[in-house]
Structure 1
Amino acid sequence: MDLDEALALGRGPYELAYFGGTFTALPSPWPEAFLGLAMRYRERGLITHVRCSTRPDCVDEPSLALLRAQGLDMVELGIQSFDDEALKTSGRGYTGDVARAACEAVKASGLALGVQFLPGLPGDRPGMFASDMRIAADLEPETARLYPCLVINGTPMARMWERGEYEPWSLKRAKVELSEVLPVLWEKNVRIIRLGLAPEGTLEGNILAGPWHPAFGQSVRGMALLKILRAEIVRFGKKPVCLDVPRRYSGEIYGHGRELAPRYFELGVPESSITFVDGECFQLS
């Protein structure tokens, strides 16, 4: 369905995203043409928000401000990491300082900031991803996407992996690492809009190695919630009789396939003591 058909059928409103390329590096008149198209549908009420993705070494405040004036609302930067060694080993072509400066430029231009990271890149070492997330949280982006690094058939990374020069994270490590940093981002009100690659098209058949699972995000969010609730139960100081959980977390609190239910039982919170309620607050009693 194209935009005209959606408009005629009364669909929407929608957000429009220009992804899959380096939007801010496109030569004129392409950015103006794409944003002009979005504006025409925005004026008719079909489009309410426009975002793009780009590299951190392809932005500057004046050009971003111009794109904002033409109707762009958000820029998602493919940061991948702030670590210079990992960026160099992975052939990204910029430094951590450039990535940080790009984040500041997006915010200074008046655009909303989104960040994207690839934990487990070549050059990774213990503690690096956690450090990246602390830096990201301090920059206070509006959104974040976290894609644990996968080895995809036909890519330079696949050749590195075949030569034994790169080993991606295991699924277990990826779940643990990401679940430990989510609270750091949540504390700064960063909205996590993607955890792991979506199971699209022929992706799964071309993954040679790495931590991919169709319910990866559900598992990670469940583990992060468990970590937070465990700390609160310890702070509570006694065995709780009841745990009230906001209903919107009902699909995540136990993780994927109820994998975390035994962990709650070990904490003294069996399923019979958990109640899903309307509202936004967890409550121990």
Structure 2
Amino acid sequence: MTKISRHHFSHPEPSQKRLRLLPVFLPFAGCPSRCVFCDQHAQTGLGGLRLEDALDALHERLSLESGPFGLGFFGGTFTGLDLAWQERFLELAARFAGPGGLVHLRVSTRPDRVDLQSLGRLREHGVSMIELGVQTFSSPVLEASGRGYDGAVAERACAMVREAGLELGIQLLPGLPGHDAALWREDVRRTLALGPDVVRIYPCVVVRGTGLADMYLRGEYAPWSLETAVNESGRALLDFWKAGVRVIRLGLAGEPGLLERLLAGPWHPAFGNMARSLALRLFLEERLAGRTGRVTKIFLPLRLGGELWGHGRVNAEALARLGIVRENVNFWSEPDIALELEEQ
């Protein structure tokens, strides 16, 4: 006798906060040195930018905003700025704070440029979150990349952000010199142990004019392949989702300045989608593991329509082994995933 069993479960991704975040880019501002991989001018689409001009532009922009929004300072080392400049930017932001205006403020900085005193001062000025450009917790890789701190400093900085009562963001950069998949998976494990609120994953690419470009041209550095970067990012993504960590960026944005100067590395316009689709496939494999019966129907939220099969239908063969084929796939308006299994 044939028996139909039905199973419902949620997609593992934590719900994203629906808040518009205005980015303010301060390329290289406050940075004590230039890391081998970094070209903020190319990555942000901004050339040399004077702080006075950035402050004026921010004032004009904030004056035009309405409704709740967030604000983030990126592209440099905010806590490396002179204290007077930090306060000028933060005091300007505070003038627009309120329920109908600025409701969230974050800054990006280096792990070796924070302490409890500076974090407390930022909190007093209305900062909600610190995003730390950790890149990796591997001390040899950090040294090879010219970061100027080790993994222990990075971990202590993350702990201090929490101790100061602030939300924590961790930015990771897999594929740096000397960084392999095993070290990356250790980075993911250590990141999860620190319990960040958000994570950004930027697989390392080679940009003209950087120290990494010189190493690449001399044959001293080889970036990860696109396949490796997608595979490792997708697996990490699922781990972060299951731990309740929001991953708010996958891959560098395709700024024209970046694409013009890109020499090598795993950049792709659909990188985020590729990693997300792999994470979804791995999740479905986990949920179906050990289940008996044949999949007769699967229902998925409409928002997953562009992720199930993967870029170029790369997931199709693996999904078919699970019994998931085009004929039994349905997309619906419900938020959950549902399966119908036929058992003899």
User: TM class by shorter-chain length?
Assistant: over 0.9
Show the counterpart of 2:311: 256
Instruction: Give me the whole-angstrom Cα distance separating, in 1, the residues matched to 2:181 and 2:243.
Output: 23
Q: CA deviation at 1:44?
A: 7.2
Show the counterpart of 1:93: 148
Task: Give yes or no for the alignment of 1:118 onto 2:173.
Answer: yes
Show the counterpart of 2:272: 217
Amino acid at match of 2:200: R
Task: Give yes or no for the alignment of 1:74 onto 2:129.
Answer: yes
Contact 1:78/1:117 (<8 A) preserved: yes
Instruction: Give me the whole-angstrom Cα distance separating, in 2, the residues matched to 1:3 and 1:44.
Output: 18
Contact 1:90/1:123 (<8 A) preserved: no
SS of the residue corresponding to residue 235 of structure 1 reads: coil
Contact 1:6/1:12 (<8 A) preserved: no
Task: Give yes or no for the alignment of 1:155 onto 2:210.
Answer: yes
Show the counterpart of 2:64: 6
Contact 1:15/1:49 (<8 A) preserved: yes
Instruction: Give me the whole-angstrom Cα distance separating, in 1, the residues matched to 2:82 and 2:202.
Output: 29
Indicate which of 138, 142, 164 corresponds to 2:193: 138
1:102-143 Cα deviation digits (max 9, x unpaired)? 000011111100000110000113400001001101111011
Instruction: Give me the whole-angstrom Cα distance separating, in 2, the residues matched to 1:126 and 1:227.
Output: 18
Instruction: Give me the whole-angstrom Cα distance separating, in 2, the residues matched to 1:130 and 1:49.
Output: 31
Contact 1:74/1:114 (<8 A) preserved: yes
Q: CA deviation at 1:263?
A: 3.1
Show the counterpart of 2:88: 33
**CA 1:25–1:5: 2 relative to 1, 3 Å:** closer
Show the counterpart of 1:267: 322
Contact 1:15/1:50 (<8 A) preserved: yes
Percent identical residues: 44
TM-score of the superposed pair, with normalisation by structure 1:
0.94
Show the counterpart of 1:102: 157
Structure of higher RCO (CA pairs closer than 8 Å, 6+ residues apart): 2
The answer for unaligned runs of 5 or more in structure 2 is 1-56
Instruction: Give me the whole-angstrom Cα distance separating, in 2, the residues matched to 1:58 and 1:16.
Output: 21
Q: CA deviation at 1:5?
A: 5.1
1:192-247 Cα deviation digits (max 9, x unpaired)? 11111011122112111100000000001100110110121223222211112123
Contact 1:233/1:240 (<8 A) preserved: no
Indicate which of 302, 315, 322 corresponds to 1:247: 302
1:116-171 Cα deviation digits (max 9, x unpaired)? 01100001134000010011011110111100000000100000011111100000
**CA 1:12–1:252: 2 relative to 1, 3 Å:** farther
Show the counterpart of 1:207: 262
Contact 1:144/1:191 (<8 A) preserved: yes
Corresponding pairs, count? 282
Amino acid at match of 1:284: L
Q: More deviation in 154-163 or 13-22?
A: 13-22
Show the counterpart of 1:47: 102
Instruction: Give me the whole-angstrom Cα distance separating, in 2, the residues matched to 1:52 and 1:209.
Output: 29
Structure 1 segments, 4+ long, off by >6 Å, are: none
Show the counterpart of 2:240: 185
TM-score of the superposed pair, with normalisation by structure 2:
0.78
SS of the residue corresponding to residue 336 of structure 2 reads: coil
Q: Give the aligned CA root-mean-square deviation in angstroms.
A: 1.6
Q: CA deviation at 1:46?
A: 2.4
Amino acid at match of 1:206: R
Show the counterpart of 2:226: 171
Contact 2:71/2:105 (<8 A) preserved: yes
Amino acid at match of 2:61: L
Instruction: Give me the whole-angstrom Cα distance separating, in 2, the residues matched to 1:3 and 1:48.
Output: 16
Q: CA deviation at 1:266?
A: 3.3
Amino acid at match of 2:255: E
Instruction: Give me the whole-angstrom Cα distance separating, in 2, the residues matched to 1:201 and 1:186.
Output: 31
Amino acid at match of 1:158: A
Instruction: Give me the whole-angstrom Cα distance separating, in 2, the residues matched to 1:227 and 1:74.
Output: 31
SS of the residue corresponding to residue 43 of structure 1 reads: coil
Instruction: Give me the whole-angstrom Cα distance separating, in 1, the residues matched to 2:291 and 2:149.
Output: 47
SS of the residue corresponding to residue 231 of structure 2 reads: helix
Q: More deviation in 91-100 or 33-42?
A: 33-42
**CA 1:259–1:126: 2 relative to 1, 3 Å:** closer
Contact 2:136/2:142 (<8 A) preserved: yes
